[in-house]
C-alpha cells in the first residue's frame, strides 16, 4: 500500500485541454513536492508547498495543498506537448519522504 496515491495513473489528452492530477493520502505532511520526469532522466522539482490551503502558480501550472495537508492537486491549463511526462508528488512527514504512485501524462498534438 502506497502512502500517497495519485490519480489518474495514466492520462492522454489533446493539446489545449485542461487537466488535473490528484495526490491523496490519509497521512499529514509537513510539506509536499511535485516533480516532472522525462524518460531516461531524473525527476525535476516543480514546486514545494508547505502551508495548508496554499496555492502556487507556475505559468500554466497551479498547485494546491489541501487544508489538512493530506492531499494536493496539480492543474495544467491549455496543455502543450512539452508537458508530456511522468508527474510525481512526494510528501515529507518530517522524518521520512514518500513518493506518490505517479501520473503518466501524454499530450497529443
Partner 1 sequence: GAVVSQHPSRVICKSGTSVKIECRSLDFQATTMFWYRQFPKKSLMLMATSNEGSKATYEQGVEKDKFLINHASLTLSTLTVTSAHPEDSSFYICSASDGRATYEQYFGPGTRLTVT
Binding part of the chain for partner 1, among 14-22, 35-43, 57-65, 70-78 by CB under 8 A, reads: 35-43
- Distances, alpha carbon 44 to alpha carbons 4, 27, 67, in Å: 18, 24, 25
Does the footprint of partner 1 cover residue 95 (CB under 8 A)? yes
Phi-psi region of 85 (alpha: psi -120 to 50; beta: other; left: phi over 0): left
Query: Cβ(109)–Cβ(15) under 8 Å?
Result: yes
HSE-CB at 105 with a 13 A cutoff on CA atoms is 31
Does the footprint of partner 1 cover residue 109 (CB under 8 A)? no
Measured from the CB atom, the residue of 12 and 77 that comes closer to partner 1 is: 12
Distance of alpha carbon 45 from alpha carbon 48, whole angstroms: 8
Q: Binding pattern to partner 1, positions 62-91, x when CB under 8 A?
A: ------------------------x-x-x-
Does the footprint of partner 1 cover residue 42 (CB under 8 A)? yes
Does the footprint of partner 1 cover residue 44 (CB under 8 A)? yes
Given the rule CB under 8 A, which residues bind partner 1?
2, 6, 10, 30-31, 33, 35, 40-44, 48, 86, 88, 90, 92-97, 99-102, 104
Amino acid at each position: 500500500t502506497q502512502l500517497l496515491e495519485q490519480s489518474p495513473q495514466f492520462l492522454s489528452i489533446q493539446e489545449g485541454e485542461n487537466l488535473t492530477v490528484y495526490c491523496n493520502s490519509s497521512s499529514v505532511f509537513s510539506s509536499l513536492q511535485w516533480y516532472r520526469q522525462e524518460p531516461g532522466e531524473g525527476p525535476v522539482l516543480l514546486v514545494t508547498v508547505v502551508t495548508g490551503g496554499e496555492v502556487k502558480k507556475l505559468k500554466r501550472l497551479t498547485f494546491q495543498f489541501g487544508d489538512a495537508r493530506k492531499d494536493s492537486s496539480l492543474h495544467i491549463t491549455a496543455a502543450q506537448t512539452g508537458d508530456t511526462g511522468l508527474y510525481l508528488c512526494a510528501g515529507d512527514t518530517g522524518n521520512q519522504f514518500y513518493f506518490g504512485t505517479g501520473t503518466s501524462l501524454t499530450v497529443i498534438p
